[in-house]
C-alpha cells in the first residue's frame, strides 16, 4: 500500500470510531521521521543497583550466508554475541555490548561495568557460571559489589589469598554442602530469570542483524 492509501485508511477508521481527529498527512510524517531526536535520560537507582547480566548469540546475515543458501554449503554461518546488564528493579537495560562470538562472557564484564557511572552504587551482580573467573570476581570486588555467581560444576578452590578468591572458595564449600538448589534459593539467584526474559524480548525483534 502507498502512504496515501494508508493515510486514507487511518482516516476512515477514525470516522468509524466517531472521533473528531485528523490523521497526519503522509508527507508530514516522512519529513518528521528524518529529524526526530530521542533522548533517554539516565535514571540512577535509588537504593543501590542490582545488576543482572546475561548473553546470547545473534545470527549475522551477510553475503556469505546468502551464497551458502543459494549455491554451496561452504560458507560458514556467522554469529555475534550480545551481552546485556539490566536493573533488577526497573528491568531497564543499563549496559549492553555486542562482540564477535569468539569473545568469552568473562572478557565482556569489564566493558559492561564501565557503562555504569562510578558514582552509582552497585549492590550486587548476578551472572551465570561462565563468569566464575578470578578476573570477573575482582572486577566486581573493585566496584564494592556482591558477586552472586554459581561455581562451575567442576570447580576447584583457588589458591591465592585475595578476598574475592576466599569468598569464592567459601561459596564452593557451601554449595557442596547444601546443594545448588538450596543455595540458589538462599542467595536469590532466581532473579536472573528476569534478564533471561528481557533477552527473550530482544529476540522477539528478530535474531538477524
pLDDT at 112: 94
Question: What is residue 161's predicted lDDT score, i.e. its pLDDT?
Answer: 87
What's the predicted TM-score (pTM) here? 0.71
Length of the chain: 209
Residue 160 pLDDT: 87
Phi, then psi, of 40 in degrees rounded to 5: -100, 115
Taking CA atoms, 163 is separated from 137, 170, 175, in Å, by 10, 11, 18
Q: Which of 140, 124, 93 is nearest to 188 (CA)?
A: 124
Note down pLDDT in tens along the chain; length 209 residues.
Answer: 455 667 778 888 888 888 888 877 656 555 555 566 667 777 777 788 999 999 888 876 655 555 666 655 555 567 788 899 999 988 889 999 988 888 888 899 999 999 999 889 999 999 998 899 999 999 999 999 999 999 888 889 999 888 888 999 999 999 888 888 998 888 888 888 888 888 888 777 765 55
Query: In this structure, are residues 87 and 71 in contact, taking their beta carbons and an 8 Å threshold?
Result: no
The pLDDT assigned to 155 comes to 86
Instruction: State the span(s) of the chain assigned CATH 3.30.420.
Output: 49-204
Q: Which CATH architecture has domain 49-204?
A: 2-Layer Sandwich (3.30)
Cell output for 22? 485528523
What count of Cα atoms within 13 Å lies in the side-chain half-sphere of residue 32?
A: 7
For the record, the C-alpha cell of 66 comes out as 546468502
Amino acid at each position: 500500500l502507498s502512504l496515501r492509501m494508508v493515510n486514507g485508511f487511518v482516516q476512515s477508521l477514525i470516522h468509524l470510531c466517531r472521533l473528531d481527529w485528523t490523521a497526519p498527512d503522509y508527507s508530514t510524517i516522512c519529513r518528521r521521521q528524518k529529524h526526530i531526536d530521542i533522548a533517554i535520560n539516565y535514571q540512577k537507582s535509588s537504593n543501590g543497583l542490582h545488576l543482572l547480566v546475561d548473553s546470547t548469540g545473534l545470527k549475522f546475515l551477510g553475503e556469505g550466508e546468502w551464497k551458502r543458501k543459494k549455491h554451496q554449503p561452504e560458507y560458514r554461518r556467522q554469529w555475534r554475541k550480545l551481552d546485556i546488564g539490566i536493573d533488577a528493579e526497573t528491568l531497564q537495560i543499563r549496559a549492553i555490548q555486542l562482540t564477535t562470538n569468539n569473545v568469552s562472557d568473562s572478557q565482556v564484564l569489564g566493558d559492561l561495568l564501565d557503562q555504569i557511572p562510578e558514582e552509582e552504587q552497585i549492590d550486587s551482580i548476578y551472572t551465570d557460571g561462565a563468569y566464575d573467573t578470578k578476573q570477573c570476581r575482582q572486577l566486581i570486588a573493585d566496584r564494592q559489589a556482591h558477586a552472586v555467581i554459581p561455581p562451575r560444576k567442576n570447580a576447584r578452590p583457588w589458591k591465592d589469598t585475595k578476598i574475592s578468591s576466599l569468598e569464592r572458595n567459601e561459596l564452593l564449600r557451601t554449595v557442596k554442602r547444601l546443594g545448588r538448589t538450596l543455595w540458589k534459593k538462599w542467595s536469590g539467584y532466581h532473579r536472573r530469570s528476569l534478564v533471561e526474559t528481557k533477552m527473550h524480548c530482544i529476540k522477539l525483534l528478530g535474531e538477524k542483524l
